[in-house]
Every structure is written in C-alpha cells, then in structure tokens.
C-alpha cells in the first residue's frame, strides 16, 4: 500500500466512524406525529362559576354507566367552607351527585356538622375529574400496560386486560381512580373519549348550566380554552407530584386539596 | 358490590373514590415473602459462611423456605379483582411498573431454591432409591417413594466421593447466589410500596432496606419456632409409636432441641432486629424533622390513630419485649419460643402498619379511613379480604412443609443412610 492509498483509506474509516449510529435509525412517521400531534385535550374549570348543583356528576354517571347508587364517581364536586377561625371544612356527599341541598357539612361516619352563617369567612365549590396528566403515575405503575396515554393526551383503561391489582388507584395522588362495581376493573374519567373523538363535548361540559366546565385543544391557539389557559392566571392541582396535570383551574384557593 | 366499601369507614373529608383497597392479603404478601427470604438467608449462613453451629437448622430452613415459596404469590392472586388474568403480567409485562417483574424475580428465586434443594438431597435420593429397589417385599408407600426418588434423581446416579463433593460445591454456589436474589425478591416488595409517590407514608427510599432487615428477622424467628415445635412433636410421636413397636429409637436417641442451635440462631435474629429498628426509627425521626406538607396528617396517624398498633404492639410487644427476652443471660428454649412468637407478631404488625397505616389517611390530607377487618365472611369478597382468607394463606405453608418433609427428611435419624448426614 502506497502513501496515497493509505491516506485515502484512512479518510474513509474516519468518515465512517463519524457517522453516529443514531443517524442510521429509521424515523417512524407515527412517532413523529405522537411527539407533536395537532391535538392535546385539556380541561378548564372556572371555580367561580360552579354553584355545586351536581348536574355534571349526574350526567357523567349516566353517560359512562357508573352505577347510579354506587359511592364512586368519575367526577365529583367538593364544597369548601372556611371559617373565620381558620378551620376548613370540606365535603362531597355522594360525590355531589344530588348537589348540595343542605348547609350541614358531612364529616364522615354518617355524621353532619352545622356551621352558622356568621362564622363563615368564605365558601366555594371545586369540581374534580381526572387530570389526564402528561406524566401519569397510574400509567407508570400498571404492571400489564392495561392503562395508557393516547397520542392526544387522554389516559385510558383497557377493561379487557386490567387485572385489577389496584396499583394505579394507589398511584394516583388525586384519588380519581376506583374499581368499577360491575366490570371489576380500574375505572376513571377519560374526558368522555367516546364523545370528544366524535366532535362532541364531554357529558359534564354539556350538562353544566353555568359554563364552569370547558374542554378544548391545547394545540389550537384559537381554541377559547387554550386562549384562557395561555393568557389568564390559571392553577393546577398538586403540582409537587410532578404529574403535569392538564386540568386547569380559575379561582383556585390555597385550601383546595 | 363496591370493592372496599364493606370494610372502610371514612372520617372527615376523604375523596369519594378512596377506600381501603389493599387489605389483609397485601399485609400477608410481604409477610410471607419476608419469611421465604429470611429462611433462605438463615440456611445460607451455614452453606456459604460455614457457620457449622447452624448445620442442624440449615437444611430445615431450606425446606421450609421452599414450602413457603409457592404461598408468597397466593395473597396477591386472592386480592386481584381479575385473578384469572394473572398471567397477563408475564405476557405483557410493563416494566416501568414495580410489580411487572414480580413473576420473573419470583421464578428465578424459585429455581435457585429448587436446584439447591436438589443438590442437597441428591445423594440421599440415590441411596434410598437403590436400597428400596433391593428390598424384596416393598409396601405400597415404599414403592411410591422409590419411584418418586428415581424420577427426582433425573438420571444422576453417581454417588462417588467426587460426585458428592461436586454437589456440595454446587450447593455453596447456589446458596451464595441465592442470598442477593432473596434480598432482591423482598427488597423488591419494599420498592413496590416505597416508590408510590402518591402515598406519603410509603414513599421513602429506606423502605426496601427496612423490608429486607425485618424479613430476615421474621424468617429466622419462624425457623427457630418451627424447629423447636417439630423437634418436640417428633419426640411425642415417637414415644407414642414405641408403645406398639419397641424397636423404634427412643426419644433420647433421637436427640431433642439443641439449645446451642437456638442461642446461636437468635444471636443473628437480634443483629438484624437492631438493624431493622434503627432504620425504622431513622425514617420516623427524619419525617418529623423535615416536616414536609404531609407531616401533619402523618403525625396524627402515627401518634394518634395508630398509636397502639405502632408503639405498643409493634415496637413494644413485638420488638422491645423479645429484645429483652433474648438478651437476658441464660437463654432457655422456652424463652426463645416466646421471643420468636413475639418477633413474628411484631413483624406482622410492621407490615400491617405499613399497608393499612398507609391507607389510614386520605390523599386529600383532610380525612381518615379506618379498616374494619371482616371476621365472619358473608360473601367471597369478605372471606378473601378478611380474617379467614388470611388464616388460610397463613396455614398452607405448614401443610406444604409437612408434605415436603415426607420427601425431604429434615432430621438426621441415627438409622438413616450416612449420605444424608453430611449436611
């Protein structure tokens, strides 16, 4: 081998080594789409507008066939009563399915507590539902992969594959999951995926007479929900868990759990 | 019927969907895996580290570990809402989940214990099978035993000195590999709890280590206890049988409980007990000192609602009392038995306080949940997740142990073939 030949071959070797192995990886168009899809569902709750009528809970139970009398629900409304002495009372009787029909506050074990009007500093309602987290702990802990995130950001449960271990229920810091009394598998709010994927709104959004609940597409800058989330001051629940929840709240208060 | 509603009582504000979903069976699960791992570690002390004083109990605890092994996943199966789908975990394991690898870890460990057991008993199988083959008029049970041993030998009939030495070498290697795997199996159970970030009581990196230490404690305790009970029972049975057949060895010839074995073993128990308590207290102090958001509710659970279960039953009766019993000079077998029973109870309470205690408060940090364990079952669910379900799971290992001891003799009978006495 002469010098010319040696240099030529060396250059080929160096050039070959310079090509990183990653560059040879074929790009899957599906992966690209999932990384930046044109749809990401998000929810906006205006707590100022909620009056605690419970129509959303009722509609949800009927729409999603969660037994009406069972004491579990995909969505619920909490009532917060903050007293002048700083005490905070919270309740959600029957998940607020029938609304809040009495001033008495449920304190568990079938007992109620009455608070005089003049003792109350402030009181408000907070609707709750699944946060469809961007980093969902429930999906992380499912041992069989029966619960998963869709490309458009909704966490779903496969009732045919769930083994019912309850690890996802334990893993959710928001307490949105439960066992379906009939199917005996993990159950949760999915933003009425069967409706939103057909262009409809979720049942609770349609049922709310005051517009406290709205659903929208975060990827669409002209979506009214996105506009509010981008331009106004909104809060999220339990940020410290690092779950990146996608239900945004207007009018959150420090007492909200 | 709503899962959890039958035994959960809510106090103050609890999210509507929150119930005590993990009940007594999930208390049994780490308790049983702990016993498996602990019994194995005890047997390895002899095989690997050559603690010859544990020779007597080493083989015993290995067989016991093997008997406990198939029972460890039983509580998991019983608590599943869809138990018939349990194989999904092996079919589509989702490895970001801490429980997805359970089947793999468990089966690996099971194979290690099974092969170690085989190497320990191979020589005995061969000699017994050959002896029975030459026997002219065998009873039915002898024939069954002979064919069973012949199958178990799996063609390895070589019992030369060299071959038996190879067996011992294999036992040593397997026991050595088995220790980290046993610790992993149980540390893994701790990780399942410790990694749940949504649960303020469970989330601590110390959880796997605490679980391993208390596992060894409980495993050793159960081995001591069963060892003493079996020895005594054996003596009783022999005395009773000798009335009909005086040619059997006398209880004196059989030899009773060796106090030496019990004292030696309980020394290891104490060591691991100190380690476990130190870590648990470190965890508690650290939580109180850092006092993050969840501390308020944890404090009211630890020092209020669960005070009796944690400080009186677990630390007091389950740790402190046996600690004193074992450390007082002149340890007798009787005192050791009381001590081991209390230690087992203490470890059980520790599992209880982790599993049930972790669900004693709402994720809202504004309310509490109480578990009322179903005693008399009125349907399948209250049976499975109640007292009798737990008792059933807890008693099966003993039945299995009895059955296994028919095949794998755990004692050195003076009349037994010499090959079995090498352990």
Q: How far is B192 from chain A (nearest CA, A)?
A: 9
Chain B residues closer than 8 Å to A137 by CB: 197-198
pLDDT at B49: 84
CB-based burial label for B376 (10 Å; 0-12, 13-18, 19+): exposed
What is the side-by-side strand order in the sheet with A41-46? A213-217, A41-46, A247-250
Instruction: Write the DSSP assignment of A25-42 as a string of letters.
Output: SPPPHHHHHHHS-S--EE
Chain A residues closer than 8 Å to B85 by CB: 144, 161-164
pLDDT at B414: 40
- Cβ-defined contact of B13 to A142 (cutoff 8 Å): no
- Cβ-defined contact of B18 to A176 (cutoff 8 Å): no
Nearest CA in chain B to A112: B12
Best A61, A90, A144, A149 member to test B by mutation, with max B CBs in 10 Å, is A144
Best A165, A174, A185 member to test B by mutation, with max B CBs in 10 Å, is A165
- Cβ-defined contact of B94 to A184 (cutoff 8 Å): no
Q: How far is A2 from chain B (nearest CA, A)?
A: 55
Chain B residues closer than 8 Å to A109 by CB: 9-11
Chain A residues closer than 8 Å to B9 by CB: 108-109
Rounded CA separation B48/A148 (Å):
45
Fold of B9-79+91-411: Formate dehydrogenase/DMSO reductase fold (1.20.1630)
Chain B residues closer than 8 Å to A175 by CB: 15-18, 362-364
In chain B, where the domains are located: 9-79+91-411
Rounded CA separation B46/B48 (Å):
6
pLDDT at A23: 64
pLDDT at B236: 85
pLDDT in tens, chain B (423 residues): 799 999 999 999 999 999 999 999 999 999 999 898 888 988 888 888 888 877 878 888 899 999 999 999 999 999 999 999 999 999 999 999 988 988 888 899 999 999 999 999 999 999 999 999 998 888 999 999 999 999 999 999 999 999 999 999 999 999 999 999 988 888 888 999 999 999 999 999 999 999 999 998 999 999 899 889 888 888 888 888 888 888 777 777 766 777 888 898 899 999 999 999 999 999 999 999 999 999 999 999 999 999 999 999 999 999 999 999 999 998 999 999 999 999 999 999 999 999 999 999 999 999 999 999 999 999 999 999 999 999 999 999 999 999 999 899 887 644 343 433 333
Rounded CA separation A247/A55 (Å):
19
- Cβ-defined contact of B82 to A162 (cutoff 8 Å): yes
Q: Tell me which residue in B17, B80, B293 faces A164 most closely, judged by beta carbons.
A: B80
pLDDT at B410: 83
Rounded CA separation B33/B1 (Å):
31
Provide ipTM, 2 decimals.
Answer: 0.89
Cross-strand bridge partners of residue A127: A77
Q: Are strands A247-250 and A41-46 parallel, antiparallel or unpaired?
A: parallel
Tracing tokens 């079995």 back to the chain, one arrives at B420
Q: Are B393 and B76 in contact (CB under 8 A)?
A: no
pLDDT at A29: 63
Chain centroid offset of residue B343 CA: 13
- Cβ-defined contact of B88 to A140 (cutoff 8 Å): no
- Across the A:B interface, residue pairs with CB atoms under 8 Å apart total 152
Q: Are B415 and B249 in contact (CB under 8 A)?
A: yes
- Cβ-defined contact of A109 to B11 (cutoff 8 Å): yes
Sign of CA dihedral B77, B408, B117, B33: positive
Residues 6+ apart with CB under 8 A from B119: B167, B168, B170, B171, B174
pLDDT at A31: 64
Backbone angles phi, psi at B158, to 5 degrees: -70, 115
Tens digit of pLDDT for each residue in A13-68? Answer: 888 887 766 666 666 666 665 565 689 999 999 999 999 999 999 999 999 999 99
Q: Are B262 and B333 in contact (CB under 8 A)?
A: yes
Mean pLDDT of chain A: 93
pLDDT at B416: 40
pLDDT at B47: 87
- Cβ-defined contact of B102 to A143 (cutoff 8 Å): yes
Residues of chain B numbered 4-23 and touching chain A (CB < 8 Å): 4-5, 9-19, 21-22
- Cβ-defined contact of B198 to A171 (cutoff 8 Å): yes
Chain B residues closer than 8 Å to A166 by CB: 21-22, 79, 81
- Cβ-defined contact of B13 to A92 (cutoff 8 Å): yes
pLDDT at A21: 62
Whether A174 shows a pLDDT value over 80: the answer reads: yes
Q: How far is A220 from chain B (nearest CA, A)?
A: 32
Tens digit of pLDDT for each residue in A70-102? Answer: 999 999 999 999 999 999 999 999 999 999 999
Q: Provide the angle, in degrees to the nearest 10, between the axes of the packed helices B207-242 and B161-194.
A: 130
pLDDT at A120: 97
Q: Are B409 and B420 in contact (CB under 8 A)?
A: yes
pLDDT at A102: 94
Rounded CA separation A129/A249 (Å):
12
Tens digit of pLDDT for each residue in A205-214? Answer: 999 999 999 9
Q: Tell me which residue in A73, A144, A161 faces B16 most closely, judged by beta carbons.
A: A73
CATH number for the domain formed by residue range(s) A137-187:
3.30.70.20
- Cβ-defined contact of B13 to A72 (cutoff 8 Å): no
pLDDT at A191: 98
Chain A residues closer than 8 Å to B86 by CB: 163
- Cβ-defined contact of B2 to A70 (cutoff 8 Å): yes
In chain A, where the domains are located: 137-187
């Amino acid at each position: 081998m002469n010098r010319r030949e040696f240099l030529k071959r060396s250059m080929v070797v160096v050039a070959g080594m310079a090509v990183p192995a990653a560059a040879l990886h074929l790009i899957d168009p599906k992966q690209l789409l999932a990384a930046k899809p044109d749809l990401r569902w998000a929810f906006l709750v205006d707590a100022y507008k909620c009056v605690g009528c419970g129509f959303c809970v009722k509609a949800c139970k009927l729409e999603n066939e969660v037994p009406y009398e069972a004491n579990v629900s995909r969505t619920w409304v909490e009532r917060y009563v903050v007293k002048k002495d700083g005490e905070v009372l919270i309740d959600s009787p029957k998940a607020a399915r029938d609304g809040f029909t009495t001033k008495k506050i449920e304190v568990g074990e079938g007992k109620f507590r009455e608070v005089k009007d003049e003792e109350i500093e402030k009181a408000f309602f907070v609707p709750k539902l699944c946060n469809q987290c961007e980093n969902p702990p429930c999906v992380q802990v499912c041992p069989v992969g029966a619960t998963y995130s869709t490309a458009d950001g909704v966490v779903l449960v496969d009732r045919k594959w769930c083994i019912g271990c309850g690890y996802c229920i334990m893993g959710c810091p928001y307490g949105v999951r439960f066992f379906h009394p009939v199917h005996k598998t993990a159950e949760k709010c999915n933003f009425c995926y069967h409706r939103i994927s057909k262009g409809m709104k979720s049942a609770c959004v349609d049922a709310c007479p005051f517009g406290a609940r709205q659903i929208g597409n975060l990827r669409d800058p002209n979506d009214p929900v996105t506009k509010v989330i981008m331009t106004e001051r909104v809060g999220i629940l339990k940020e410290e868990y690092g779950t990146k929840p996608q239900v945004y709240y207007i009018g959150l208060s420090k007492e909200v759990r | 019927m709503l899962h959890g509603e039958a035994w959960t009582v809510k106090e103050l504000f609890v999210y509507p969907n929150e119930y005590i979903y993990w009940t007594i069976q999930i208390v049994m699960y780490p308790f049983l895996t702990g016993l498996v791992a602990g019994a194995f570690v005890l047997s390895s002390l002899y095989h690997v580290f050559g603690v010859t004083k544990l020779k007597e109990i080493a083989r015993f605890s290995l067989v016991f570990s093997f008997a406990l092994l198939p029972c460890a996943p039983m509580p998991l199966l019983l608590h599943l809402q869809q138990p018939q789908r349990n194989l999904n975990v092996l079919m589509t394991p989702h490895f970001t989940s801490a429980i997805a690898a359970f089947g793999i870890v468990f089966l690996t460990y099971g194979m290690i214990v099974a092969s170690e057991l085989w190497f320990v008993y191979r020589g005995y199988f061969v000699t017994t099978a050959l002896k029975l083959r030459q026997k002219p008029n065998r009873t039915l049970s002898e024939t069954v035993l002979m064919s069973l041993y012949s199958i178990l030998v799996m063609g390895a009939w070589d019992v030369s000195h060299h071959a038996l030495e190879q067996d011992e070498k294999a036992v040593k290697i397997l026991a050595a590999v088995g220790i980290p795997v046993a610790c992993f199996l149980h540390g893994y159970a701790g990780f399942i709890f410790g990694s749940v970030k949504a649960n303020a009581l469970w989330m601590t990196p110390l959880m796997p280590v605490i679980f391993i230490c208390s596992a060894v404690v409980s495993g050793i305790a159960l081995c001591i206890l069963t060892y003493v009970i079996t020895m005594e029972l054996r003596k009783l049975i022999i005395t009773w049988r000798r009335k009909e057949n005086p040619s059997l060895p006398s209880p004196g010839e059989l030899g009773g409980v060796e106090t030496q074995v019990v004292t030696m073993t309980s020394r290891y128990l104490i060591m691991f007990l100190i380690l476990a308590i130190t870590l648990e207290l470190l965890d508690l102090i650290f939580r109180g000192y850092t006092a993050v958001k969840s501390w308020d509710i944890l404090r009211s659970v630890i020092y209020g609602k669960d005070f009796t279960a944690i400080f009186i039953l677990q630390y007091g009766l389950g740790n402190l009392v046996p600690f004193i019993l074992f450390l007082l000079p002149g340890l007798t077998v009787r005192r050791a038995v009381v001590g081991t029973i209390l230690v087992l109870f203490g470890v059980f309470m520790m599992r209880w306080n982790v599993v049930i205690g972790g669900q004693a408060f709402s994720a809202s940090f504004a309310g509490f949940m109480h578990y009322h364990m179903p005693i008399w079952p009125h349907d399948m669910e209250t049976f499975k997740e109640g007292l009798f379900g737990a008792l059933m799971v807890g008693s099966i290992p003993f039945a299995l142990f009895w059955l296994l001891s028919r095949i794998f003799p755990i004692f050195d009978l003076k009349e037994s073939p010499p090959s079995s006495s090498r352990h």
